[in-house]
Chain A
Amino acid sequence: MNASMTIPSDYQHLPKVRAFAYDFVRRLGAPEKVAHRTEFIAAELCSNAIEYGGGKGKIEIDLHADGKSITITCFNETSDSSVSTRLKEKFHADFDPIQKRGRGLFIIRRWVQEANFEDADGGIRISVVQSLSA
Protein backbone atom coordinates (compact mmCIF):
# COMPACT_ATOMS: atom_id res chain seq x y z
CA MET A 1 0.00 0.00 0.00
CA ASN A 2 1.35 3.43 -0.96
CA ALA A 3 0.30 7.01 -0.44
CA SER A 4 1.92 10.34 -0.97
CA MET A 5 1.26 14.00 -0.44
CA THR A 6 3.00 17.24 -1.30
CA ILE A 7 2.89 20.35 0.86
CA PRO A 8 4.36 23.82 0.60
CA SER A 9 7.42 24.35 2.79
CA ASP A 10 5.38 25.92 5.57
CA TYR A 11 4.80 24.76 9.15
CA GLN A 12 1.09 25.54 8.87
CA HIS A 13 0.71 22.43 6.69
CA LEU A 14 2.18 19.99 9.23
CA PRO A 15 -1.18 19.12 10.84
CA LYS A 16 -2.28 17.78 7.44
CA VAL A 17 0.84 15.61 7.25
CA ARG A 18 0.15 14.24 10.71
CA ALA A 19 -3.44 13.34 9.87
CA PHE A 20 -2.34 11.79 6.56
CA ALA A 21 0.27 9.56 8.23
CA TYR A 22 -1.93 8.57 11.17
CA ASP A 23 -4.89 7.66 8.94
CA PHE A 24 -2.67 5.66 6.56
CA VAL A 25 -1.38 3.43 9.34
CA ARG A 26 -4.78 2.98 10.95
CA ARG A 27 -6.21 1.88 7.59
CA LEU A 28 -3.56 -0.85 7.55
CA GLY A 29 -5.03 -2.17 10.77
CA ALA A 30 -1.85 -1.43 12.73
CA PRO A 31 -2.09 -0.53 16.44
CA GLU A 32 -2.87 3.03 17.45
CA LYS A 33 0.54 3.31 19.12
CA VAL A 34 2.25 2.64 15.79
CA ALA A 35 0.03 5.16 14.04
CA HIS A 36 0.85 7.85 16.59
CA ARG A 37 4.57 7.16 16.15
CA THR A 38 4.28 7.36 12.36
CA GLU A 39 2.36 10.62 12.75
CA PHE A 40 5.17 12.02 14.90
CA ILE A 41 7.96 10.78 12.61
CA ALA A 42 6.35 12.16 9.45
CA ALA A 43 5.76 15.56 11.04
CA GLU A 44 9.29 15.81 12.45
CA LEU A 45 10.87 14.86 9.11
CA CYS A 46 8.81 17.53 7.36
CA SER A 47 9.58 20.04 10.10
CA ASN A 48 13.30 19.47 9.58
CA ALA A 49 12.82 19.78 5.82
CA ILE A 50 11.12 23.16 6.30
CA GLU A 51 13.78 24.37 8.72
CA TYR A 52 16.78 23.25 6.67
CA GLY A 53 15.17 24.09 3.35
CA GLY A 54 14.70 27.69 4.39
CA GLY A 55 10.95 27.58 3.83
CA LYS A 56 11.34 27.37 0.07
CA GLY A 57 9.88 24.95 -2.45
CA LYS A 58 7.73 21.93 -1.73
CA ILE A 59 8.01 18.87 0.43
CA GLU A 60 6.98 15.40 -0.68
CA ILE A 61 6.08 12.76 1.85
CA ASP A 62 5.66 9.15 0.74
CA LEU A 63 4.40 6.21 2.77
CA HIS A 64 4.92 2.63 1.72
CA ALA A 65 3.75 -0.36 3.73
CA ASP A 66 4.74 -3.96 3.01
CA GLY A 67 2.80 -5.78 5.71
CA LYS A 68 5.53 -5.82 8.34
CA SER A 69 6.90 -2.31 8.15
CA ILE A 70 6.26 1.14 6.85
CA THR A 71 8.79 3.25 4.99
CA ILE A 72 8.39 6.98 5.48
CA THR A 73 10.22 9.09 2.92
CA CYS A 74 10.54 12.85 2.99
CA PHE A 75 12.01 14.80 0.08
CA ASN A 76 12.63 18.51 -0.18
CA GLU A 77 14.47 20.63 -2.69
CA THR A 78 17.58 22.42 -1.50
CA SER A 79 20.80 23.60 -3.03
CA ASP A 80 22.69 23.12 0.25
CA SER A 81 24.46 19.78 -0.15
CA SER A 82 25.72 19.85 3.46
CA VAL A 83 22.25 19.41 4.95
CA SER A 84 21.99 15.65 4.55
CA THR A 85 25.38 15.18 6.21
CA ARG A 86 24.43 17.48 9.10
CA LEU A 87 21.10 15.73 9.62
CA LYS A 88 22.77 12.32 9.50
CA GLU A 89 25.26 13.45 12.17
CA LYS A 90 22.43 14.80 14.36
CA PHE A 91 20.49 11.58 13.89
CA HIS A 92 23.37 9.54 15.29
CA ALA A 93 24.51 12.04 17.92
CA ASP A 94 24.40 11.43 21.66
CA PHE A 95 21.48 13.13 23.35
CA ASP A 96 20.89 14.64 26.77
CA PRO A 97 17.19 14.99 27.71
CA ILE A 98 17.80 18.49 29.04
CA GLN A 99 19.15 19.88 25.76
CA LYS A 100 16.76 22.02 23.75
CA ARG A 101 17.55 20.94 20.17
CA GLY A 102 17.98 17.66 18.33
CA ARG A 103 15.22 15.88 20.17
CA GLY A 104 13.10 15.06 17.11
CA LEU A 105 15.77 13.11 15.29
CA PHE A 106 16.73 11.32 18.50
CA ILE A 107 13.13 10.17 18.98
CA ILE A 108 12.92 9.02 15.37
CA ARG A 109 16.15 7.05 15.82
CA ARG A 110 14.64 5.24 18.79
CA TRP A 111 11.50 4.29 16.85
CA VAL A 112 12.89 3.12 13.51
CA GLN A 113 14.93 0.15 12.36
CA GLU A 114 16.67 1.84 9.46
CA ALA A 115 17.38 5.36 8.21
CA ASN A 116 18.91 6.65 4.99
CA PHE A 117 20.00 10.19 4.14
CA GLU A 118 20.84 11.03 0.56
CA ASP A 119 21.35 13.99 -1.73
CA ALA A 120 19.28 13.28 -4.81
CA ASP A 121 17.33 15.03 -7.56
CA GLY A 122 18.36 18.49 -6.40
CA GLY A 123 17.35 17.96 -2.84
CA ILE A 124 17.51 15.73 0.22
CA ARG A 125 15.69 12.47 0.60
CA ILE A 126 15.37 10.91 4.05
CA SER A 127 13.80 7.49 4.40
CA VAL A 128 13.11 5.66 7.64
CA VAL A 129 11.68 2.20 8.18
CA GLN A 130 9.36 1.63 11.13
CA SER A 131 7.90 -1.68 12.28
CA LEU A 132 4.12 -2.01 12.08
CA SER A 133 4.14 -4.02 15.30
CA ALA A 134 3.63 -2.18 18.58
Chain B
Amino acid sequence: MSDVSIAISPLEGAKSGNVFVVKIAGQLDETNVDQESQKIYALITEHNSNLSMLFDLKDLTYMNSKSIGYLTDWYTKVTSGGGKLVITQCQDNVLDVLSVVGITNLISHFPSIDEAKAALLG
Protein backbone atom coordinates (compact mmCIF):
# COMPACT_ATOMS: atom_id res chain seq x y z
CA MET B 1 0.00 0.00 0.00
CA SER B 2 1.30 3.47 -0.89
CA ASP B 3 2.11 5.84 1.95
CA VAL B 4 -0.36 8.63 2.52
CA SER B 5 -1.49 10.67 5.48
CA ILE B 6 -4.50 12.90 5.88
CA ALA B 7 -4.49 15.42 8.73
CA ILE B 8 -7.58 17.47 9.45
CA SER B 9 -7.52 20.53 11.70
CA PRO B 10 -9.65 23.64 12.25
CA LEU B 11 -8.46 26.65 10.25
CA GLU B 12 -6.85 29.21 12.56
CA GLY B 13 -8.56 32.58 12.38
CA ALA B 14 -11.86 31.24 11.15
CA LYS B 15 -14.88 32.71 12.96
CA SER B 16 -16.95 29.62 12.32
CA GLY B 17 -16.09 26.16 13.61
CA ASN B 18 -16.93 24.69 10.25
CA VAL B 19 -13.74 25.62 8.41
CA PHE B 20 -11.02 22.98 8.18
CA VAL B 21 -7.57 22.49 6.72
CA VAL B 22 -7.05 19.07 5.16
CA LYS B 23 -3.37 18.29 4.65
CA ILE B 24 -2.70 15.33 2.40
CA ALA B 25 0.86 14.01 2.19
CA GLY B 26 2.21 11.11 0.16
CA GLN B 27 0.54 9.28 -2.69
CA LEU B 28 -3.19 8.83 -3.23
CA ASP B 29 -3.75 5.85 -5.47
CA GLU B 30 -5.75 2.69 -5.99
CA THR B 31 -4.10 1.01 -3.00
CA ASN B 32 -5.32 3.48 -0.38
CA VAL B 33 -7.82 6.05 -1.66
CA ASP B 34 -11.03 4.14 -0.92
CA GLN B 35 -9.98 3.75 2.71
CA GLU B 36 -8.46 7.21 3.22
CA SER B 37 -11.34 9.04 1.55
CA GLN B 38 -13.63 7.92 4.37
CA LYS B 39 -11.92 10.45 6.68
CA ILE B 40 -13.12 13.25 4.43
CA TYR B 41 -16.60 11.79 4.08
CA ALA B 42 -16.83 11.52 7.88
CA LEU B 43 -16.01 15.22 8.20
CA ILE B 44 -18.61 16.12 5.58
CA THR B 45 -21.23 13.99 7.33
CA GLU B 46 -20.40 15.51 10.72
CA HIS B 47 -20.66 19.11 9.46
CA ASN B 48 -23.27 18.77 6.78
CA SER B 49 -23.99 22.44 6.15
CA ASN B 50 -21.74 25.46 5.65
CA LEU B 51 -18.64 23.28 5.89
CA SER B 52 -15.62 24.80 4.17
CA MET B 53 -12.37 23.03 3.43
CA LEU B 54 -8.89 24.08 2.43
CA PHE B 55 -6.96 21.22 0.89
CA ASP B 56 -3.24 21.77 1.42
CA LEU B 57 -1.60 19.50 -1.17
CA LYS B 58 2.00 20.69 -0.74
CA ASP B 59 3.25 17.20 0.16
CA LEU B 60 0.95 15.21 -2.11
CA THR B 61 3.18 13.66 -4.78
CA TYR B 62 0.66 11.57 -6.75
CA MET B 63 -3.07 11.46 -7.42
CA ASN B 64 -4.72 8.79 -9.53
CA SER B 65 -7.92 9.29 -11.49
CA LYS B 66 -10.11 7.79 -8.77
CA SER B 67 -8.70 10.30 -6.24
CA ILE B 68 -9.71 13.12 -8.56
CA GLY B 69 -13.21 11.64 -8.69
CA TYR B 70 -13.38 11.75 -4.90
CA LEU B 71 -12.15 15.36 -4.86
CA THR B 72 -14.92 16.42 -7.24
CA ASP B 73 -17.48 14.53 -5.15
CA TRP B 74 -16.30 16.32 -1.96
CA TYR B 75 -16.48 19.62 -3.82
CA THR B 76 -20.05 18.90 -4.93
CA LYS B 77 -21.15 17.91 -1.43
CA VAL B 78 -19.47 20.88 0.28
CA THR B 79 -20.74 23.50 -2.15
CA SER B 80 -24.25 22.06 -2.22
CA GLY B 81 -24.26 22.53 1.56
CA GLY B 82 -23.41 26.19 1.15
CA GLY B 83 -19.69 25.90 1.88
CA LYS B 84 -16.48 26.43 -0.07
CA LEU B 85 -13.65 24.11 -1.04
CA VAL B 86 -10.30 25.34 -2.32
CA ILE B 87 -6.94 23.70 -2.94
CA THR B 88 -3.48 25.12 -2.44
CA GLN B 89 0.22 24.44 -2.99
CA CYS B 90 -0.20 21.65 -5.54
CA GLN B 91 2.98 20.12 -6.87
CA ASP B 92 3.45 20.57 -10.62
CA ASN B 93 2.55 16.99 -11.57
CA VAL B 94 -0.60 17.02 -9.46
CA LEU B 95 -1.62 20.38 -10.90
CA ASP B 96 -0.92 19.02 -14.39
CA VAL B 97 -3.39 16.17 -13.96
CA LEU B 98 -6.00 18.35 -12.25
CA SER B 99 -5.75 20.91 -15.03
CA VAL B 100 -6.04 18.50 -17.92
CA VAL B 101 -9.31 17.16 -16.61
CA GLY B 102 -10.76 20.61 -15.98
CA ILE B 103 -10.79 20.45 -12.19
CA THR B 104 -8.95 23.74 -11.81
CA ASN B 105 -11.81 25.42 -13.67
CA LEU B 106 -14.19 23.97 -11.10
CA ILE B 107 -12.15 24.20 -7.89
CA SER B 108 -10.02 27.26 -7.19
CA HIS B 109 -6.31 26.59 -6.75
CA PHE B 110 -4.05 29.07 -4.96
CA PRO B 111 -0.25 28.90 -5.06
CA SER B 112 0.08 30.02 -1.43
CA ILE B 113 -1.78 28.99 1.67
CA ASP B 114 -2.33 32.63 2.64
CA GLU B 115 -4.16 33.28 -0.64
CA ALA B 116 -6.24 30.17 -0.12
CA LYS B 117 -7.15 31.22 3.43
CA ALA B 118 -8.11 34.68 2.23
CA ALA B 119 -10.36 33.19 -0.46
CA LEU B 120 -12.00 30.85 2.00
CA LEU B 121 -12.55 33.41 4.73
CA GLY B 122 -13.33 36.36 2.49
Q: Chain B, interface size: which category?
A: 20 to 34
The 29 listed contacts between A and B (C-beta, < 8 Å) are A11-B31, A12-B1, A12-B31, A15-B27, A15-B31, A18-B29, A33-B96, A36-B92, A40-B64, A43-B64, A44-B64, A47-B30, A47-B64, A97-B103, A97-B105, A97-B106, A98-B106, A101-B69, A103-B66, A103-B68, A103-B69, A104-B65, A106-B101, A107-B65, A107-B97, A107-B101, A110-B100, A110-B101, A111-B100
- Name B residues whose Cβ lies closer than 8 Å to a Cβ of A: 1-2, 27, 29-31, 62, 64-66, 68-69, 72-73, 76, 92-93, 96-97, 100-103, 105-106
What is the CB-to-nearest-CB distance from B92 to chain A, in angstroms, rounded to a whole number? 7
A110–B105 Cα gap in the complex (Å)? 16
**A-B pairs under 8 A by CB, number:** 65
What is the CB-to-nearest-CB distance from A121 to chain B, in angstroms, rounded to a whole number? 25
What is the CB-to-nearest-CB distance from B102 to chain A, in angstroms, rounded to a whole number? 4
